[in-house]
């Protein structure tokens, strides 16, 4: 069977996969150079072109330059980070406290992607049963932004150690609008060859061969072309 003529040219396909595999959660490598408006506009357009259930497009984008606002967000992070550290004991606790989990003040720009849980009205096509599809859709906007940023040479870090209610109050979000992702953006000195949590010994990537099931949960793939292809891709680091 011939491949579909709808494929991108090979060089463009490689670029897509490169962005996926070289995307990193950046915390420590930010440079102070500002992001040009035309580049930021491309990133926001990429996020805005994410798929969304029922085309509800539940996202909004808050571009944050204010030092005062960022300092307030940093204070929320520091409080919640201390609470999170109490979840671990011994060497794991020591390692956690050594991890840098944000670049709120170091990055030249912060960006919050929100989800308007009322957008589209009470009956959104495709959302009748799974109400969280608005949140899922907003996360797809985050991923689009992340991959576009990598292609532009811009690092992005997702700060998840934040209390959502305090963050919403700090950013003045109206009722029904919730923060989904608080992001740090900027040009970086380097993109690490591996995720930082791997380098620091926190976790390693799980083998994809162990995560693919056949027909029902827990039934492994039989040895065959897909199993061999997955092993080959893992060996190549893909």
The Cα–Cα gap between 203 and 192 comes to: 16
Q: What is the mean pLDDT of residues 14-18?
A: 96
DSSP 25: B
**pLDDT band at residue 222 under the 50/70/90 scheme:** confident
Percent of the chain's residues with pLDDT above 90: 87
Cα(61)–Cα(225) distance, integer angstroms = 43
Interval 178-215: pLDDT, tens:
999 999 999 999 999 999 999 999 999 998 888 999 99
Which residues are 25's β-sheet partners? Answer: 156
Residues 168-175 have a mean pLDDT of 98
pLDDT on residue 40: 98
Q: How confident is the model at residue 227 (pLDDT cuts 50, 70, 90)?
A: confident
Kindly tell me if the per-residue pLDDT of 69 is higher than 90: yes
- The rounded mean pLDDT for the chain is 94
Percent of the chain predicted with pLDDT > 70: 97
Collapse the DSSP code of 113 into the 3-class scheme (helix H, G, I; strand E, B; otherwise coil) and give the result. Answer: strand
Strand partners, 186: 155
The residue extents of the domains of the chain are 24-192, 206-238
In this prediction, residue 210 carries a pLDDT of 87
234 pLDDT band, cuts 50/70/90, is confident
pLDDT at 157 over 90: yes
pTM of the model: 0.94
CA distance 145 to 65: 18
Say which CATH superfamily domain 24-192 falls into.
NADH Oxidase (3.40.109.10)
């Amino acid at each position: 069977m011939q491949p579909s003529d709808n494929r991108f040219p090979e060089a463009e396909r490689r670029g897509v996969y490169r962005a996926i595999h070289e995307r990193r959660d950046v915390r420590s490598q930010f440079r102070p150079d500002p992001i040009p408006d035309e580049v930021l506009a491309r990133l926001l357009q990429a996020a805005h072109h994410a798929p969304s259930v029922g085309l509800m497009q539940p996202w909004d984008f808050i571009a944050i330059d204010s030092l005062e606002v960022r300092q307030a967000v940093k204070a929320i992070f520091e409080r919640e980070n201390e609470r999170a550290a109490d979840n671990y004991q011994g060497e794991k606790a020591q390692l956690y406290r050594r991890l840098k989990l944000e670049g709120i003040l170091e990055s030249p720009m912060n960006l919050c992607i929100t989800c308007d849980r009322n957008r589209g009205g009470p009956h959104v096509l495709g959302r009748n049963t799974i109400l969280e599809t608005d949140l899922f859709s907003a996360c797809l906007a985050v991923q689009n932004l992340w991959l576009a940023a990598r292609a532009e040479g811009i690092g992005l870090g997702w700060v998840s150690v934040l209390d959502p209610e305090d963050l919403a109050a700090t950013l003045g979000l109206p009722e029904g609008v919730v923060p989904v992702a608080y992001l740090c953006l900027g040009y970086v000195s380097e993109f690490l060859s591996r995720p930082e949590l791997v380098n620091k010994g926190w976790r390693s990537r799980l083998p994809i061969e162990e995560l693919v099931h056949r027909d029902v949960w827990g039934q492994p793939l039989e040895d065959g072309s897909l199993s061999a292809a997955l092993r080959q891709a893992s060996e190549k680091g893909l």
